[in-house]
């Protein structure tokens, strides 16, 4: 679960039972996805997320690396190599991403960071035409989400088929990723974006504003899409839907 999302849910749950919660969001330094001084990699969504955290008195610390956890304290290293110790009662940690160990052993297939070395648009391997990749293990510089996997699966299926018949790959992955972030028990924002941090929204309204619809999508529609469509290879993302729901975008 997205740490931002979890922080908001904890905040609401604590308020419901009358507990005062001191939430701290430590935005960790991650070599591949360093968001800088922001809660989210796409500025359109980072701004409202910071405002919402501010309104809820959630302290946000940027560029801290978690180096040690004791039963009551989390110890961080800041960018000046100084240690900062913060007390906690409940700690949610998202470790930095790394490629699977089995892949890092295949030196011919990976880039210098250990990820499967693919073209970021065709998803074809940069050295071997008969290899394609998708998902978290590839070198494409997109946000690693299930939504990305959905779109990539279409591109890989198309291009793999063409390669098997001796043709050039023509389908292009645009870097699509999506992330619903619930900010309360009734609302949320729906971040959707492509390469270069460009928003790519499915609905005609501004998705960076907190809305009830996102709560309903998250609870009723996305589980269905995941279990009944995506897992079975039948969901390639909302590009077709977007032609109707946000025609000016396409
Ligand atoms: C904490 C967390 C929260 C997330 N929340 C969201 C979210 O809210 N929305 C969203 O869209 N995305 C979310 N994601 C991202 C999403 O889970 C991933 O992008 C997605 O699962 C990537 O799919 P994948 O198939 O590429 O990799 P995985 O789902 O990681 O699948 C890789 C599989 O390969 C297996 N494997 C590894 N090594 C070997 C081996 N040697 N032999 C055989 N099998 C092996 C692993 O066990 C695993 O089952 C979240 C991720 C994390 C970690």
pLDDT confidence of residue 28: 52
72: helix, strand or coil: coil
Which of 146, 223, 231, when mutated, tests ligand 1's pocket best, judged by the most ligand atoms within 8 Å of its CB? 146
Domain assignment of residue 43, yes or no:
yes
Residue 169 lies in a domain: no
The answer to whether the beta carbons of residues 161 and 155 sit under 8 Å apart is no
Q: What is the pLDDT along the chain (250 residues), one digit of tens a residue?
A: 667 777 877 777 777 776 656 566 665 544 444 556 788 889 999 999 999 988 888 888 888 888 999 999 999 998 889 999 988 888 888 888 899 999 999 999 999 999 999 999 999 999 999 999 999 999 999 999 999 999 999 999 999 999 999 999 999 999 999 999 999 888 999 999 999 999 999 999 999 999 999 999 999 999 999 999 999 989 999 999 999 999 887 6
Total domains in the chain come to: 3
Give the pTM: 0.88
Report strand pairing: 188-194 vs 83-87: unpaired
Cα 225 versus chain centre, distance: 17
Read off the tokens for 123.
């998803």
Residue 243 lies in a domain: yes
Task: Check if 106 has its Cβ closer than 6 Å to any atom of ligand 1.
Answer: no
In a domain, 171, yes or no: no
- 3 state SS of 5: helix
Task: Say yes or no: CB of residue 94 within 6 Å of ligand 1.
Answer: yes
Residue 195 lies in a domain: yes
What's the domain range around 183? Answer: 178-249
Which of 44, 62, 87 is where one domain is finished? 87
H helices present in the chain, as ranges: 3-16, 43-55, 101-104, 146-164, 212-216, 222-224, 239-245
On whether the CB atoms of residues 24 and 58 are closer than 8 A, the answer is yes
């Amino acid at each position: 679960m997205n740490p931002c999302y979890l922080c908001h849910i904890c905040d609401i749950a604590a308020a419901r039972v009358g507990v005062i919660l001191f939430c701290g969001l430590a935005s960790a330094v991650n070599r591949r996805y360093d968001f800088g001084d922001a809660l989210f990699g796409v500025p359109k969504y980072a701004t409202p997320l910071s405002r919402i955290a501010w309104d809820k008195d959630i302290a946000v610390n940027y560029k801290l690396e978690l180096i040690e956890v004791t039963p009551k304290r989390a110890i961080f290293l800041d960018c000046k190599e100084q240690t900062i110790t913060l007390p906690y009662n409940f700690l949610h940690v998202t470790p930095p991403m790394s490629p699977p160990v089995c892949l890092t052993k295949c030196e011919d297939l990976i880039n210098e960071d250990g990820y499967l070395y693919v073209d970021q648009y065709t998803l074809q391997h940069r050295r071997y035409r008969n290899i394609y990749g998708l998902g978290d293990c590839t070198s494409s510089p997109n946000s690693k989400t299930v939504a990305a996997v959905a779109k990539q699966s279409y591109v890989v299926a198309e291009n793999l088929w063409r390669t098997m018949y001796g043709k050039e790959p023509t389908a292009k992955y645009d870097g699509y990723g999506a992330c619903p972030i619930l900010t309360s028990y009734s609302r949320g924002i729906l971040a959707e974006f492509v390469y270069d941090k460009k928003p790519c929204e499915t609905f005609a309204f501004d998705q960076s504003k907190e809305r009830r619809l996102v709560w309903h999508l998250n609870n009723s529609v996305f589980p269905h899409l995941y279990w009944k469509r995506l897992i079975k290879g039948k969901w390639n993302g909302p590009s077709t839907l977007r032609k109707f729901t946000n025609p000016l975008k396409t």
